[in-house]
Structure formats: C-alpha cells, structure tokens
Structure 1
Amino acid sequence: MKPIVSAVQAWSCFVISCFAIVILSVLGILFRGNHPELVGGEEDPEDGPAVAATVFTAVIIYAGFLIFCGFQGLLHIRENRRGSIAL
C-alpha cells in the first residue's frame, strides 16, 4: 500500500491532532461540568452539556485524523526501509 500524503504532512497532522485532542477534551470536560468561567457570563452559552457534546464530536473527528495520519506516517517509514528512491 502506498501513502496518499507526504511524510511531512502526515506527521504534522499527527502532532496537531494530538494537541487538538488534549485541548478539546479539557474544554469539553469543563463545559460538561458547567464551569463558571465558560458558562457564567451573559454572552456565554447557557447549556454547557450541549456544547460539550459538540466539542467531543470534534475530538472524535480529530481522533480519526490521528489514526489516518499515523497510518500514513507508518507507511512512509515502511517504504523508506525497503530502499525505494523518493523523487
């Protein structure tokens, strides 16, 4: 199987997805708990659990990116071990 994206793009996406999963998970937990800093103001959302569900959906999407890009990176490593010439 050949990689679809370049190695730099695959590993960049992998690292960005890792950070996004961590940051969005923390925000989702805070929204789910109705943390006053996030839902306490006049212009802030009133339904914290609904916002948390949306944030956790984004976490699932980033997990998909993480798996896909990690797999692409591993394909590049496997391809380089075979001694193929990159043009």
Structure 2
Amino acid sequence: MKPVIGVFQAWFCIVVSVFAIVILSVIGALFQSNHHSMTGSMDDPEHPKAVAATVFSAVIIYALFLVGCGFQAYLHFRENRKGAIRIS
C-alpha cells in the first residue's frame, strides 16, 4: 500500500490530533463534572452534560484522525525501510 498524504502532513496531523485530544478531554471533563470555571457565570450553557457529550464526540473524531494519520506515517516509514527511491 502506498501513502496518500505526505510524511510532513501525516506527522503534523498526528501532533495536532494528540494536542486536540488532550485539550478537549480536559474541557469535556470540566463540563461533565459541572466545574465552576465552565458553568459559573450567566453566559455559560444551561446543559453542561450535553456540551460535554458534544466535546467528547469531537475527541472521538480526533482519535480517528490520529489513527488514520498514524497509519499514513507508518506507511511512509515502511516505504523508507525498503530503500525505495522517492520522487517528491
């Protein structure tokens, strides 16, 4: 199998996905626990559990991106181990 995206794009996607998963997981956990920093003012959402579910669905999407881009990076790594000549 040949990679579809470039090696730089694959690694950039991995880094962004990991960062997004960590940050969104913390934000979702704060909404899930009804933490006062997320739900303590008048402008905050009325249903923090629904917001947490939406944020966690974004975490799942970023996890799928992480798996897909990780597979692309693996394909690049495997292609380079074979000694194939790359034309960029």
Same-fold call, TM cutoff 0.5: yes
TM superposition shift of 1:40: 1.3
Q: Deviations over 1:11-55 (max 9, x none)?
A: 110011011101100000000011111111111112111000000
**Cα root mean square deviation, aligned:** 0.6
Identical columns (%): 61
Show the counterpart of 1:6: 6
Unaligned runs of 5+ in 1: none
The match for 2:54 is 54
Which secondary structure does the structure 2 equivalent of 1:4 belong to? coil
Q: Hey, which bits of structure 1, 4+ residues long, moved more than 4 A?
A: none
Distance in 2 of aligned mates of 1:11 and 1:70: 8
Where structure 2 has 5 or more consecutive residues not aligned to the other structure, the ranges are none
| Cα distance in 2 between the residues matched to 1:7 and 1:78 | 12
Question: 2:66 aligns to what SS in structure 1?
Answer: helix
* TM-score normalized by the length of structure 1: 0.97
Given the alignment of the two structures, is residue 34 of structure 1 paired with residue 26 of structure 2, yes or no? Answer: no
